[in-house]
Amino acid sequence: MQLGPAVVQIAQPMSARRTLAARMALRTVAPLFLLLPLLGWLVWMAVGRGLRPLREIATEVRARDASALTPLAMRAMPDEIAPLSDALNQLLERLSHAIDTQRAFVADAAHALRTPLAALQLQAQLVERAEDPQARRQAVGKLRQGLERLTHLVAQLLTLARQEPGAVTLPQEPVDMHELAAGVVAEMAQAALDREIDLGLDADSVPVSRIHGDADALRILLTNLIDNALAYIPRGSRVDVLLRQAAGGREVELVVSDNGPGIPADERGRVFDRFYRLPDAPTGGSGLGLAIVAEIAQSHGARLALEDAAPGLRVRVTFPAA
């Protein structure tokens, strides 16, 4: 410090400064060290109390077996944990629905296979008991027809199982419905000719007919619709397959119509049920064709409607356009 003509200087060792700083820091931190155990105990109690409902849910889940899919009991939970409980209950609900669907399918399949298997056993016994070649040939022919019907039924059951919601992940790729419909109509043309039925396709005026979906499943859908029409209409009738745009190009409509007897209005809601057949239905069917069509339409987000073609039946399937 300048004091007139004199300069005053004061010096202090750095060790003294460091000692002073250490003492000040210790006096500041010491109370925190004393409070840390108390703070830790308070945090442990608060977190443990907040996570207690989660531990209870974990205990409840561990105590369950595979068949217990009822929703978990809802408790007062923190906002951060409540979504987990809701998500678990939603998962249990989906699993319960999937298991119920599988059980219903197994029961339906067992019921559907029981009758044709019994018929095959009876026909095999008739073949064994046939004494002359003519009777044996007739019995073998009936046995072959029974095997064909059983093969068709098993194929339909496998197709239906594959189309179950959640069974498999269907590929979502662009499908040209014009090309697909033309191929299916060409494949079914011989079956139509054998029954003297006029089968035709009208799709030339559709500028864009692409949708997103599984080409194999869509081919099964159209095949079942045409095969169902061929089975129910008399000889000399006609089946028309129409492909057109709707809703200003945002939708693609697939229409299969015939001039047969049609389906009564009060029966149209039941024909999509598995194994349900009309009272006057021809023999040889399995009652799964329209059920498979409904499953495929649902998996593709399409609308399915049965309409009166006056005379005949018109089946309209409306897909979202790609």
Q: Quick: pLDDT tens for 105-130.
A: 677 677 667 767 777 788 788 788 87
CA distance 226 to 194: 14
* 147 has a pLDDT exceeding 90: no
- For residues 207-227, give the mean pLDDT: 84
Residues 158 and 187 in one domain: no
The number of domains in the chain is 2
Which residue range(s) make up the domain with 103? 82-162
Take residue 237 and report the two structure tokens written for it: 């009738």
Asked if the structure places residue 36 within a domain, the reply is no
Of the pLDDT bands very low, low, confident and very high (cuts 50, 70, 90), residue 164 is low
Of the pLDDT bands very low, low, confident and very high (cuts 50, 70, 90), residue 170 is low
Residue 314, SS3?
strand
The CATH number of whichever domain residue 110 belongs to comes to 1.10.287.130
Of 162, 184, 217, the position where a domain reaches its end is 162
Give the per-residue pLDDT at 111. 64
CA distance 95 to 105: 15
CA distance 57 to 52: 9
More confident residue, 178 or 287: 178
Residues 280 and 305 in one domain: yes
- For residues 282-294, give the mean pLDDT: 72
Residues 235 and 264 in one domain: yes
Asked if the structure places residue 2 within a domain, the reply is no
Residue 230 and residue 155 in contact, taking contact as beta carbons nearer than 8 Å: no
- For residues 168-189, give the mean pLDDT: 83
Residue 304 and residue 290 in contact, taking contact as beta carbons nearer than 8 Å: no
More confident residue, 60 or 233: 233
Asked if the structure places residue 64 within a domain, the reply is no
Give whole-number Cα distances, 80 to 36, 84, 322, in Å.
26, 8, 40
Asked if the structure places residue 4 within a domain, the reply is no
Provide the angle, in degrees to the nearest 10, between the axes of the packed helices 133-162 and 289-299. Answer: 20
Residues 141 and 268 in one domain: no
Residues 316 and 185 in one domain: yes
CA distance 136 to 128: 8
Give the per-residue pLDDT at 204. 63
Residues 270 and 206 in one domain: yes
The CATH number of whichever domain residue 306 belongs to comes to 3.30.565.10
pLDDT digits (tens, 9 = 90+) for 85-110: 788 888 888 888 777 777 776 776 77
Q: Which residues, at least 6 apart from 143, have a Cβ–Cβ distance to it below 8 Å?
A: 120, 123, 124, 126, 127
Q: What's the DSSP call for residue 321? A: B
Asked if the structure places residue 97 within a domain, the reply is yes
Asked if the structure places residue 139 within a domain, the reply is yes
Of 131, 162, 193, the position where a domain reaches its end is 162
Neighbours of 246 (CB within 10 A): 13
Provide the angle, in degrees to the nearest 10, between the axes of the packed helices 14-63 and 82-129. Answer: 30
Most confidently predicted of 50-59, 149-158, 161-170, 243-252: 243-252
Give the per-residue pLDDT at 264. 81
CA distance 172 to 319: 13
Asked if the structure places residue 71 within a domain, the reply is no
Is pTM, for the whole model, over 0.85? no
Average pLDDT, the chain: 81
* 136 has a pLDDT exceeding 90: no
Asked if the structure places residue 75 within a domain, the reply is no
Residue 272 and residue 252 in contact, taking contact as beta carbons nearer than 8 Å: no
Of 137, 162, 187, the position where a domain reaches its end is 162
CA distance 68 to 77: 23
Take residue 246 and report the two structure tokens written for it: 């709707």
Take residue 149 and report the two structure tokens written for it: 């019907």
* Burial state string for 202-232 with b = 16 or more CB within 10 A and e = fewer than 16: ebeebeebbbebbbebbbbbbbbbbbbbbbb
Among 43-57, 144-158, 221-235, 252-266, the minimum mean pLDDT is found in: 144-158
Residues 189 and 275 in one domain: yes
Single-letter code of the amino acid located at 181: A
Residues 105 and 212 in one domain: no
Residues 239 and 289 in one domain: yes
Residues 180 and 262 in one domain: yes
Residues 221 and 200 in one domain: yes
* 296 has a pLDDT exceeding 60: yes
* 187 has a pLDDT exceeding 80: yes
Residues 289 and 259 in one domain: yes
* 255 has a pLDDT exceeding 70: yes
- Residue-wise DSSP of 93-159: HHHHHHHHHHHHHHHHHHHHHHHHHHHHHHHHHHHHH--SHHHHHHHHHHHHHHHHHHHHHHHHHHH
